[in-house]
Structure 1
Amino acid sequence: MIANRKMTISIHDDPPILICADLQTEYLTEGRSHVISDAEAITSRCLELMTVWRSNLWPVMHLKRIAQAAWFNPASNLTDWIAELKPRPGELAFEHPLPSAYSSSRFAEYMANMRDIRCVLCGFSLDETILSTVVDGFHRSHRYQVVSDAVACRRPGVGEAASYKLAVVKVIGNYARVQASTDLIGASGKIAV
């Protein structure tokens, strides 16, 4: 478990921002087309990462997809945060209408005003929010890192979910560093960013 590890960063480095993407009940609700089959394992890993970041008082940011499409009704409670993963007071939260978080003018402005920012991404919507945000960030010279065992995508229309996720992660690897949580947080307790 990574939650019990104490991590240190050089005094000259700013800690990376943990960005939690689309941790909404839509992805846990059985019978929905966006349900994620390994959601329990992913939410557990995201909670562990949040615990590490929060215990070190490092910045945590949350993204919430609020689309206008019929399949993602913003009036529904399906867009609510997963209870144990919702933002705490003092943590930034951004709503974005399109897949990329940069479709939120507040998020884009925030990121544009940050210097030497490093972001670690976890959460749902790997094939939409995470992929498009990483690509948009890459073109803005923002550094992203995706935690491969703390991300998931909805069930694909065809093929096996694991191979689909692997293909998406490979594409993301062209724009961001991809690491497992055990590699991100080494045995020494230092974070590798």
Structure 2
Amino acid sequence: MPVFLDDDPPILICADLQVEYLTPGRRHLIRDGDAATARCLELLALWRNNLQPVMHLKRIAQAAWFNPSSRLTDWIEEAKPRPGEMTFEHPLPSAYSSSRFVDYMSNIRNVRCILIGFSLDETILATAIDGFHRSHRYQVIGDAVACRQAGTGDADAYKQAVVNVVGNFATIHFSAELIRTSGAVAV
């Protein structure tokens, strides 16, 4: 059950909302791309309208399949960070692989982070685990996350299995639980 706390606004963390994950034929093409993107953009708009803190994570890996000079690492147009929104680039799956992110997170008190975005089976999972071990509170929005195409087998079962693992390190909510009827955030 969500707790309504107006004095401790949560930070919305948009994980890897990059073109790479929506480009057909790419290794990291996510499933449920349209639905997850729509939900992410809805939550991002809500946070922006309520003037609540927004953070953007951008995966910049040093591997042949993820060329940082490629336009595929660009933000999805509608999700580009705005002035005043924090951005952190991370080379490894966890956002904690960014020293700037580690510094920021270690210097704020009573942090509550809402994780949405792509790479559920990489960035979101790794960040939730690293955050858990630092006593940071993460909530993952199950209908605003997506993961790459599973190699074989049932894609829905794969996503649910990853969500179940993430649930060991973060609280899992859905966007309907997060949004009050007034349009305010409820967590």
Tell me the TM-score normalised to structure 2 length.
0.95
Does the residue aligned with 1:94 lie in a helix, a strand or coil? strand
- Counterpart CA distance in 1 for 2:153 and 2:159 is 11
Runs of 4+ residues deviating >4 angstroms: none
**RMSD, aligned α-carbons:** 1.2
Alignment deviations for residues 16-42 of structure 1 (CA, whole Å, 9 cap, x no partner)? 000000000001111111111311111
Match status 1:133 vs 2:135: no
- State the alpha-carbon separation in 1 of the partners of residues 184 and 31 from structure 2: 31
Is 1:122 aligned with 2:113? no
Task: Tell whether 2:92 aligns with 1:98.
Answer: yes
Q: Is 1:182 matched up with 2:176?
A: yes
Q: Which runs of 5+ in 1 are unaligned?
A: 1-8
One-letter code aligned to 1:156: A
- Which residue identity is paired with 1:131? L
Tell me: CA distance 1:31–1:141, structure 2 relative to 1, closer, same or farther (3 Å). same
Confirm whether residue 169 of structure 1 aligns to residue 147 of structure 2. Answer: no
Report SS of the residue matched to 2:128.
helix
1:32 aligns with 2:9: no
In structure 2, the partner of 1:82 is 76
The CA distance in 1 between the partners of 2:124 and 2:113, in whole Å, is: 12
Aligned counterpart in structure 2 of residue 158 of structure 1, from 143, 152, 168: 152
User: What stretches of structure 2 of length at least 5 have no aligned partner?
Assistant: none
1:60 and 2:54 matched: yes
